[in-house]
Amino acid sequence: VSVRKLKTTRQSEIVEAAVAIAREKGLDALSMRRVAERLGLTPMALYGYFRNKDDLLDGIVGYLLTLLPDPDPALDWRDRLRLTARGARDVARSHPAVFPLLFARPSVSREAVLAVDRIHQALLDGGVADDQVARIERLVSTFVLGFAISEVSGRFSDSTLNLRGRRARLGPEELPAHHRLAAWLDPEVDWDAEFEADLADLLIVIESKLGGAKE
């Protein structure tokens, strides 16, 4: 219940130490005690800067959001969307252990609102109707974050990798499509190309709304 004021002076230093530990040893190894140790502090010293561990994780999410690109508003709206999407994927690949936090924690920070506003503006500039902007932003952001997380968490690669082994044990009656698609499922996927193709498909959706009837 106490509303004790948090110090801000060393907040970013602490967040960066936490990110470094997660990068080096994984998210499971990220503990208040280890963050403190890395900074030469007692665990309790951190509680002057963050209310608890969840609060520190939210700090990490905020930090990740500051790493997103802020494209020149003079660019074409499509380019702004593409640059932001690619930037999000880059952040994921450079911070694989902590990036999935973006999906687990609500994040209503200042950084989050600013990032969302940039997407809203790009969609408005493209001519998306006012009442559709928020939904399309969520559609695109949800997919882009989901793709980036799937990539770094192994949801994509592990599943394509292990398919052959599974298929041997599962027979064509149980897996009709997999057996027909065998030629296309085995090769290692070019994730850069897949992400670009997905972005192009999302732009198809957006542009399908532009010329449409007013009501």
Partner DNA sequence: ACCTGAACACCGTTCAAGT
Interface with DNA (CB under 7 A): 7, 9-10, 29-34, 36, 40-45, 47-48, 52-54
Q: Any idea what DSSP says for residue 29?
A: G
Cβ(142)–Cβ(83) under 8 Å? no
Shortest Cβ 115–a second copy spacing (Å): 11
Q: Are 121 and 113 in contact (CB under 8 A)?
A: no
Which tokens belong to 177?
Answer: 């499509």
DSSP assignment of 50-84 equals: -SSHHHHHHHHHHHHHHTS----TTS-HHHHHHHH
Least distance to a second copy from the beta carbon of 195, Å?
10
The binding track of 72-111 with respect to a second copy, each residue x by CB under 8 A or -, is: ----------------------------x--xxxxxx-x-
Alpha-carbon gap, residue 65 to 99, rounded angstroms: 10
76 binds, among a second copy, DNA, none (CB under 5 to 8 A by kind): none
What are phi and psi for residue 18, nearest 5 degrees? Answer: -65, -45
Q: Whose Cβ is closer to a second copy: residue 10's or residue 23's?
A: 23
Q: Which of 8, 204, 213, 214 binds a second copy (CB under 8 A)?
A: 204
135: contact with a second copy by CB under 8 A:
yes
List Cβ neighbours of 13 (8 Å cut-off, separation of 6 or more).
39
Residues that bind a second copy (CB under 8 A): 100, 103-108, 110, 112-114, 116-118, 120-121, 124, 130-131, 133-135, 138-139, 142-143, 145-147, 149-150, 153-156, 158-163, 166-167, 170, 174-178, 180-181, 183-185, 189, 194, 197-198, 201-202, 204-205, 208
